[in-house]
Amino acid sequence: MSEKKKDELLHDHNHDGIDRRGFLKCMAWAGTGAFCVMKGGVLNSYSLSRLSEISTADMMGELSFVQISDSHMGFNKPANPDVAGTLKAAVDKINALSAAPEFMLHTGDISHLSKPEEFDTVDQILKGAKPKDVFYVPGEHDVLNDDGKQFLERYGKGSKGAGWYSFDKKGTHFMGLVNVMNLKAGGLGTLGHEQLEWMEDDVKHLKHSTPIVVFAHIPLWSVYPEWGWGTEDSAQALAYLKKFGSVTVLNGHIHQTMQKVEGNVTFHTAASTAFPQPQPGKADSPGPMKVPAEQLKAVLGITDVNYVQGQHALAVVDSSLA
Amino acid sequence: MRRSVFIAGLAAALVLGMGLFGTGRKGSVTSAQEKSSTMEVKIDNFSFGPVELTVPVGTMVTWINRDDIPHTVVSTDDSKTFKSKVLDTDEKFSFTFSKAGTYPYFCSIHPKMTGKVIVQ
C-alpha cells in the first residue's frame, strides 16, 4: 500500500517514536476521516474511505473504545429537532465499525434538562449499541435542580464525591472526572480540592509506562475562557500525570472536535451527537449553531479510540454521522 | 370662592393626573431607572439584558429566557437571596426585592453569565 509508505514516520527528534509534525498532521486529518495507528513506533495513517482494505490486525490495537458526547436528550429547537434520531445514527455508526469497540465513554450532557425521561431515553437507545459497558461523567445539563443526585443514582455506582472514579482495561488506566459542580460566577469548570487529592492518590503507585486516559465534560485545557471553555484547576490535575509517558484527555462540552498535543499529553474534544456549536469567537455566544438540515449529520459525530500495547499514543479517530 | 377652589382643585387633579399618566407612558421597558412596580430582564445569547438593573425597593423583577438554551438565575450574595429553577425557552422567574442592597447573580449552568440588581 503505497499510501502507507508515504506517511511513515520520518522525523523522530525526541526519540520517543512520535513524529510530532506527522502526528499533528494526522490529527488534523482526523476530523475529515483519517485513521492513525501507532505500530512498532511507526505512525501510519489511512484514509477512512480505504479502511476496508486494511486488515483488522493492522487497524486494531489491543484496546478499543468509543467516546460519544453531548447527546442533550430533550433538546428540540431548530438546531436539531430530533436528537434521539441523531443519537440512534451514532449508535448505528458504532455498530458499523469493523471491530466492535469493547466499551463506550460518554463525556456528559447526556440529558438536556436532567429530566428522568431524558436519561431513560438515552439508556434505551444505547442498549442498541454493540458495546454493552458504558462509562459516564456528567455535564452541567445532567446536574440541574438536584446537585447531581439523580446522576449519581443512575451512573455513579462505586464513584466518589460528585461521581469521579477510575478503572483499568488491559493495562490502561481510565479516570472519569467531574468538573461541572459548584461552578462559581464568572468562572470556568472546576475539579475541586477533594477530587484533586483523590487523583494524586489514585495514580501514585502506577508505573510510569501505564497509559492514562482521563475523561471529563468540560475541556481540561483553555480552549476559550471567554465562553467558559476551560477548567480553572486542571493544571494541578495534569501535574499529577506528568510522570506518565502517554496521557490522553477526552472531553466534550464544546460540540466540535479539537485536538492539542502538549508534551506527553494528547487533548481531544468530541463532537456532539445532538447539535454543533460555533468555533471559538466565531459567534456572539456558544449556543446551538444552526446548519442546513442536510448538513447536520456532517457536524455531529463519534470518536473511535485504539491503543496498541507498547506504543505511546492512542489512535483517536473522529467520524461524522454523515 | 368655592368655584375657584373647585377649579384649582380640578386643575390640580388634572396636572396630577397628567403627571401620573406621563409616568405610566414612560414606564415601558427601556429605562432602567423608572419607578414602576415590575421590571424585566431578558435572557438571550448567553447574557442578561440589562446586565445591571437599578430598581426601587419593592420592585418585582422578572427574568424571561428568550435563548434557545436553558439558563438559571442564582444570586451570589452571602445569603443566597434568590435561586430560580432551570428556565427553558420562554420560562420566567420573578423575585420581589424588599430590601435595599446590591444583588449580583449568575447563571449556574453557564457561570460566565453574570448580572446585577441594585435596589435603592
pLDDT digits (tens, 9 = 90+) for A247-284: 999 999 999 999 999 988 999 999 999 999 999 999 99
For residue B84, give the 3-state DSSP assignment: coil
pLDDT at residue number A19 = 44
Q: If you search the block for the grid coordinates 505511546, which residue do you land on?
A: A312
Are B105 and A185 an interchain contact pair (Cβ–Cβ within 8 Å)? yes
Q: What radius of gyration, in Å, describes the C-alpha atoms of chain B? A: 19
Domain total in chain A: 2
What cell does B36 get?
Answer: 414602576
- Which residues on A lie below 8 Å from B45 (Cβ)? 284-285, 287
How far does the CA of residue B84 sit from the closest CA of chain A (Å)?
Answer: 9
- Out of A126-130, A169-173, A303-307, A313-317, the most confident range is A126-130
- Say yes or no for a CB contact (<8 Å) between A285 and B46: yes
Q: Does A6 share its domain with A120? A: no
| A41-45, A100-104, A287-291: range with lowest mean pLDDT | A41-45
**Highest mean pLDDT: which range of A44-58, A217-231, B13-27:** A217-231
- State whether A22 and A120 are in the same domain: no
The residue out of A59, A76, A97 marking a domain boundary is A59
Mean pLDDT for A174-182 is: 97
The reported pLDDT for the residue numbered B30 is 47
Whether residues A224 and A284 share a domain: the answer is yes
The verdict on whether omega for the bond into residue B50 sits within 30 degrees of 0, i.e. cis, is: yes
Q: Where are the domains of chain B?
A: 1-28, 31-119
The pLDDT-based confidence of A97 (bands split at 50, 70, 90) is confident
Tell me, yes or no, whether A88 and A1 share the same domain.
Answer: no
Residue A146 shares a structural domain with residue A214: yes
Task: Give residue A311's pLDDT.
Answer: 65
ipTM: 0.78
Residue A185 with chain B: CB contacts under 8 Å: 76, 104-106, 111, 114
- A137 and A47 in a common domain: no
Say if the Cβ atoms of B111 and A185 lie within 8 Å. yes
Task: Say whether both A120 and A212 belong to one domain.
Answer: yes
Contacts of residue A202, defined as CB under 8 A and 6 or more positions apart, other chains included, come to: A166, A175
Element of type H or E holding B93: strand B92-97
The DSSP letter of residue B109 is S
Grid coordinates of B18: 397628567
Q: pLDDT at residue A22 above 80? A: no
Q: Do B88 and A285 touch (CB under 8 A)?
A: no
* CATH classification at residue A133: 3.60.21.10
Point out the least confidently predicted range of A37-51, A162-176, A188-202.
A37-51
Same domain for A150 and A3: no
Average confidence (pLDDT) over A193-204: 98
Please tell me whether residues A50 and A69 are part of one structural domain.
no
Residues of B with CB under 8 A from a CB of A: 45-47, 67-70, 72, 76, 85-86, 88-89, 104-106, 108-112, 114
The model's pLDDT over A28-75, given as tens digits with 9 standing for 90+, comes to 333 333 444 444 433 444 444 444 555 555 555 578 899 999 999 999
Domain boundary among A36, A59, A82: A59
Residue-level pLDDT at B80: 87
Q: Which residue of B has its CA nearest to A289?
A: B68
Neighbouring-strand partners of residue B16: none
Looking at residue B25, what is its pLDDT?
Answer: 43
Among candidate residues A132, A152, A129, A133, the one with its CA nearest the CA of residue A142:
A152
pLDDT of amino acid A11: 44
Using DSSP, state whether B27 is helix, strand or coil.
coil
One domain for residues A11 and A65: no
Q: Do B76 and A185 touch (CB under 8 A)?
A: yes
Q: Look at the block and give the residue holding cell 483523590.
A: A198
Contacts of A114 in chain B (CB under 8 A): 86
Q: 3-state SS of A178-235?
A: CCCCCCCCCCCECCCHHHHHHHHHHHCCCCCCCCEEEECCCCCCCCEHHHCECECCHH
pLDDT of residue B79: 85
Q: Which residues of B touch A141 (CB under 8 A)?
A: 70, 109
Predicted pLDDT at B4: 59
- Quote the CA–CA distance of A282 and A259 in Å, as a whole number: 18
Taking CA–CA distances from A80, the nearest residue in chain B reads B68
Q: Average pLDDT of chain A? A: 84
Set of chain A residues whose Cβ sits within 8 Å of the Cβ of B73 = none
In this prediction, residue B5 has a pLDDT band, given cuts at 50, 70 and 90, of low
Q: pLDDT category, A167, cuts 50, 70, 90?
A: very high
Which domain, by its residues, includes A22? 1-59
pLDDT band, very low/low/confident/very high, at A297 (cuts 50, 70, 90):
very high
Same domain, residue pair A129 and A173: yes
Residue in chain A lying closest to B45 (CA):
A285
Three-state SS annotation for chain A: CHHHHHCCCCCCCCCCCCCHHHHHHHHHHHCCCEEEEEECCEEEEEEHHHHHHCCHHHHCCCEEEEEECCCCECCCCCCCCCHHHHHHHHHHHHHCCCCCCCEEEECCCCECCCCHHHHHHHHHHHCCCCCCEEEECCCHHHCCCCCCHHHHHHHCCCCECCCEEEEEECCEEEEECCCCCCCCCCCCECCCHHHHHHHHHHHCCCCCCCCEEEECCCCCCCCEHHHCECECCHHHHHHHCCCCCCEEEEECCCCCCEEEEECCEEEEECCCCCCCCCCCCCCCCCCCCCCCHHHHHHHCEEEEEEECCCCCCCEEEEEECC
What confidence tens digit (pLDDT) does each residue in B34-63 have?
A: 455 789 999 999 999 999 999 999 999 999
Whether the predicted model's global pTM rises above the 0.90 cut: no
Contact A183 B88 (CB under 8 A): no
Q: Mutating which of A118, A183, A277 best tests the B interface, going by the most B Cβ atoms within 10 A?
A: A183
Residues A201 and A269 in one domain: yes
Q: Which residue of B has its CA nearest to A185?
A: B111
Q: Which CATH architecture has domain B31-119?
A: Sandwich (2.60)
CA count, 13 A, side-chain hemisphere, A256: 15
Please identify which residue in the block is written with the cell numbers 466518589: A160
